[in-house]
Amino acid sequence: MNFISTNAVLVSGLILLIAYIFIALEKIPKVTVALIGAGLTLLLGLVSQNKMVGDSLNSHYFANFVDFNVIFLLVSMMILVLIATKSGVFTWMANELLKLTKGKPIRILFALGLFTAVVSAFLDNVTTVILVMPITFAIAKQLEINPVPILITEVIASNVGGTSTLIGDPPNIIIGSAAGFSFMDFIVHLAPVVAIILLVVLAFLAVVFKKDLVATEENMKKVAEIDNSKTITDKKHMIRSMIVLGLVILGFMLHDLTHIDTYVVAMIGASILLLFEKPTEILEKVEWNTIFFFVGLFIIIGGLEASGGIKLMAEWLLKITNGSQEATSMMILWGSGIISGIIDNIPYTATMSPMLVEIQKTMGADYTYPLWWALSLGACLGGNMTIIGAAANVIVSENSAKEGYPIGFMQFMKYGVPVVAISLIISSIYVYFRYLN
C-alpha cells in the first residue's frame, strides 16, 4: 500500500485509462467496467471508505466525489419521461407534423429531424429516438423508401438538439453541476448556435440524401392522410403528465428567481406523477445501468482528483497553450469533438469537468467561462462522428439492423465526419466572437 500511496496519480490514472479502453471496446458492459474500476479505487485506498477522520469530516470520502445533483436529476427526468410517454402524446405530435409535409420525403426528413432535435432538448436523446423510430419505419414502409437516411438524420438531430439545454444531453448535466450553470444559462448561451448548426446540418443532409428519398404520389398521399385519432390512449394521463412536465421545465427556467436546484424541481415533478402510477412498474424501467455507470465513473475520477492528477492535467493544458484563453478554448472545443466521436462523451466530460474547476481556481472564473461552453459544444456535437459516439447512435443502429436495415460503422462516418466538422467550425466562430473577441 506504501507504493500505491506514493504513486497515487499513476495508479488512479491507469485505472481511468483502462476503464476508458474497455468502455470504448464495448466487450464488457460499461456499467460493469465502471463498478469494477470504482471497487478497485476504493480497495486501493485512492478514495476513503470512511466518512470521518477522528472528529472531522473526511474530504477524501468516496461519496464526496459522486455528484448527486446529476444522479437525482437523471433519475427524476427518466421517471417523468417514462410516465409522460405512456399516453402516446409525443407520437401524436410527430404524426401531426408529418401531415403537414404532405408525404414529401425531403420534407419528412426535415420535419422528423426538427421534431427529434426539439424533443431531445427537453427529453433525453435515447428516449427521443426510441419514440421516433417506429414512426420512421412505418412511414418508410408506406413510402416504399429506405429508412436509413431518415434514421441517420434523426440521430444526428437528437445530438445537436440535446446540446441546447441543461437536460438535453448527460454531458450538459455534468457541466451544469460542476460550473453552477442554470437551465436558462444553457438556453441563452447554446440555443442560438445550436439552432444555426441544426439548420445547416439538416440542409446538408437533405442535399446528400436527396437521391435516396423519392416516392410515388400515391404513397405520399397515404402519409398525408395518416390517421392520428387513436394515438393518444389516455387523455387524462396525457393532460396530467404534460402539465407536470411543463411546470418542471418552467421551474428550471425560474431557477434564478427561486434558487431551487433543477434536481429538486425534477424530483418533485416525478414524485407527483408517481402518485398516479404503480411505482414498481415505473422504477423497474428506469435505466439503472446508466445511473450506476455514473456512480462508478465519479468514484474512479474521484481517485484521480484526490491524488492530484486532475490538477496536474489542468497545469499541463495551460502550459501547452501558454495560458492563452483563445488557444485553450479551441483546443478544448476541437479535442472534445474528436475524442467524443471515438469514446463515450459521458466519461470524457466527467473527467474534463473537474479539470476545468482546477483551471478556474488558478486562472479565475472569467478565464474559464468560455471553456465550459467549448466543452459542452465539443462533447455533445462530437458524438455525431461515429456510430458509437453517443448512446442514441447505438440504439438506432441496433434497431435498424433488427428491421433489416443495418447501418455500418463506415457508412455512418461518411455523414458523421462532415457533420461534426461543420458543427465545430460554426461553434469555433461562435465561441470566438461571443466570448474571446
C-alpha cell at 257: 428567481
pLDDT of residue 55: 81
pLDDT of residue 409: 85
**Residues β-bridged to residue 61:** 48
Of 146, 155, 142, the closest CA to residue 101 belongs to 142
Give how far the C-alpha of residue 24 lies from the chain's centroid of Cα atoms, to the nearest Å.
Answer: 17
C-alpha cell at 38: 470504482
- Where are the chain's structural domains? 2-65+89-231+287-436
C-alpha cell at 240: 396530467
pLDDT of residue 182: 94
pTM recorded for the entire structure = 0.89
pLDDT tens across the length of the chain (437 residues) = 678 888 999 999 999 999 988 887 878 988 999 999 999 999 999 999 998 888 888 888 999 999 999 999 989 998 998 898 888 888 888 888 888 888 899 999 999 999 999 999 988 788 888 888 988 998 888 888 999 999 999 999 999 999 999 999 889 999 999 999 999 999 999 999 999 999 999 999 999 999 988 888 888 888 788 888 888 988 999 999 999 999 999 999 999 899 899 999 999 999 999 999 999 999 999 989 889 998 999 999 999 999 999 999 999 999 999 999 999 999 999 999 999 888 778 888 999 999 999 999 999 999 999 999 999 999 999 989 988 788 788 888 888 888 899 988 889 999 999 999 999 999 999 999 999 98
pLDDT of residue 418: 97
pLDDT of residue 52: 84
Please state, in angstroms and rounded to a whole number, the distance separating the CA atoms of residues 43 and 38. 9
Read off the DSSP letter of residue 388: T
For residue 53, which phi and psi values (nearest 5 degrees)? -120, 100
C-alpha cell at 138: 412505418
C-beta atoms surrounding 83 within 10 Å: 23
Q: Looking up cell 448527486, which residue turns up? A: 68
pLDDT of residue 1: 61
Give how far the C-alpha of residue 82 lies from the chain's centroid of Cα atoms, to the nearest Å.
Answer: 17
C-alpha cell at 409: 460503422
Please state, in angstroms and rounded to a whole number, the distance separating the CA atoms of residues 124 and 154. 13
Please state, in angstroms and rounded to a whole number, the distance separating the CA atoms of residues 394 and 61. 35
Q: Are strands 52-53 and 56-57 parallel, antiparallel or unpaired?
A: antiparallel
